[in-house]
Amino acid sequence: MKKILVAEDTESNYLLLSIILRKEYEVYRAHDGQEAIEKFEGCRPDMILMDIKMPVMDGLEATRRIRLKGGTLPIIALTANAYDSDRDKAFEAGCDDYMAKPIMAPALREMIEKYFGK
């Protein structure tokens, strides 16, 4: 079973993502960007769903650091900000894809399958 790390500080957002994903994937959680880096090193996920705005360290900085550590796994930015500039910043930081909140289950599944080849 593929492992997905969900870096999300808001409980309700995490619960929604967990419900969408848990039947097909092992789901791990990080509450902030720093914890996302630690979990990346510890559980070696196959993909990260990275919230952009989090406490301690934001998702953009966490993505940059994961890339510097040699992380080549897909990282999908999740954000409430749907502006082109936010999308550009996510790609510049090293994210592979971008999805604006609120997350719609079919769109998320389709995006994940694009990377996992289902």
Give the burial class of 50: count Cβ atoms within 10 A of its Cβ; 0-12 exposed, 13-18 middle, 19 or more buried: buried
Instruction: Give the C-alpha separation, 69 to 101, whole Å.
Output: 28
pLDDT at 84: 81
Give the model's pLDDT for residue 85. 86
Mean per-residue pLDDT of the chain: 94
Q: For residue 39, count other CB atoms closer than 10 A to its CB.
A: 20
| Fold type of domain 3-113 | Rossmann fold (3.40.50)
The tokens of 7 are what? 């870096």
Decide the pairing of beta strands 75-79 and 26-30: unpaired
Domain boundaries, the chain: 3-113
Share of the chain above pLDDT 70, in %: 99
**DSSP-derived secondary structure for 1-41:** --EEEEE-S-HHHHHHHHHHHTTTSEEEEESSHHHHHHHHH
CB-based contacts of 37: which residues, under 8 Å, 6+ apart? 57, 62, 65, 66, 69
Q: How confident is the model at residue 21 (pLDDT cuts 50, 70, 90)?
A: very high
What is residue 82's predicted lDDT score, i.e. its pLDDT?
A: 72
pLDDT of residue 105: 95
pLDDT digits (tens, 9 = 90+) for 38-95: 999 999 999 999 999 999 999 999 999 999 999 899 999 998 877 788 899 999 999 9
